[in-house]
Amino acid sequence: MDSVDTVKNEVLEERVPSRTEIFLQLEQRIKDVKAEPPIKHDPDNVLEVHNLIKYFPIKTGLFSRVTGYVRAVDGVSFNIKKGTTMGLVGESGCGKTTVGKTILRLTEKTAGQVYFNGIEIHDIPKGEMRKLRPKIQMIFQDPYSSLSPRLPVAEIIGEAVREHDIVPAHEMDAYLDKIMKQCGLQPYHKDRYPHEFSGGQRQRICIARSIALKPDFIICDEPVSALDVSIQAQIINLMMDLQKRLGLTYLFISHDLSVVEHISDTIGVMYLGTMVEFGSKEQLFSNPMHPYTAALFSAIPVPDPDVKMDRIILEGSIPSPANPPSGCKFHTRCPKCMGICRQVVPVPKEIEPGHTVACHLYD
């Protein structure tokens, strides 16, 4: 009988919560995060993100009643200092782009805090947000689909400049020439349309459009993933050069760890909407502490056919973002999973100054 009772207790302990229980837990989590006091602003930081949550509602029935959520971003926190670059990495679907769009307020947050130069972006009215738009720009992943095929380059770059009164009208042509030259484009390109350019040139147009508004902060959403390797190097070097000359701050979203290592000062690793590890570039590449980070880094290709890669193979299926496990989201694939991982969500811990990890291995 004792063995039967033990089995029953284990089954009860590992019981999967019902959909209604999960929904009520998420509703309470949203209320708790919204009730948190404002964070203290550090003047050295351009961007401060605290417990950012973005849930997409699941609606059912005739009256579209909300019965659940897809947890695209679930409690992400990080800071970016002025003039630096933070790399945000993770596999496809982990919520990297949603973080960027929510920071820009292209998507409204569910809960959390997003401060840009000490201003809570999601709390200011639309009129004030419009004045702030030039200071926060975005470079999109696909340069062709992010450019209007019906507008020439001069109009693509100059439209927002004119709308926000960045320069007087009589100085517009000279200003556009200057911006295009900084991005490796020639003045005679102004009358051409996007389809007349190569992929690398289109991305230069996107970069020129973003820096033309004299921003302080730019979100780069996988800006080189659609380009050839040689062109990737040119675009990365251009962005680094512009950062030095203009004092820009970047959030660089990518799944290419080699590119992230080259351009970033700090790196955040995301998995299923959560930040599992954050630290400086040197800390993460020399000593990746979370099992997921170690698995990602083991997949970086080495340009030597004689070197055998010691890759970490992640077994098991990726949980659904709508109904992830009750404990650590990574435990279903983790090679170092323990019993506590199935029950308790790990809390981020600072292992060394500036290096935080959300894993029960370091409790």
Task: Please give the pLDDT value at position 206.
Answer: 95
Decide if 59 is inside a domain: no
Residue 352 lies in a domain: yes
pLDDT in tens, 4-16: 444 344 444 455 6
Q: How many domains does the chain have?
A: 1
For residue 37, tell me if it sits in a domain: no
CATH code (residue 292) = 3.40.50.300
Range of the domain at 18: 2-28+80-108+122-362
CA 86/CA 265 separation, integer angstroms: 6
Position 330 in a domain: yes
Q: Is residue 272 part of a domain?
A: yes
Residue 58 located in a structural domain: no
pLDDT of residue 11: 40
* Residue 12: per-residue pLDDT: 41
CB 100 within 8 A of CB 221: yes
Residues of the chain with pLDDT under 50: 1-13
Whether the Cβ atoms of residue 111 and residue 33 lie closer than 8 Å to each other = yes
pLDDT at 1: 44
**Residue 169, in any domain of the structure:** yes
Q: What is the 3-state secondary structure of 288-323?
A: CCCHHHHHHHHCCCCCCCCCCCCCCCCCCCCCCCCC
307 occurs within a structural domain: yes
Residue 295, CA distances (Å) to 271, 330, 332, 333 in order: 12, 12, 14, 11
What pLDDT score does 16 carry? Answer: 63
Q: pTM for this one?
A: 0.90
Q: Is 84 exposed, middle or buried (0-12, 13-18, 19+ CB in 10 A)?
A: middle
pLDDT at 15: 58
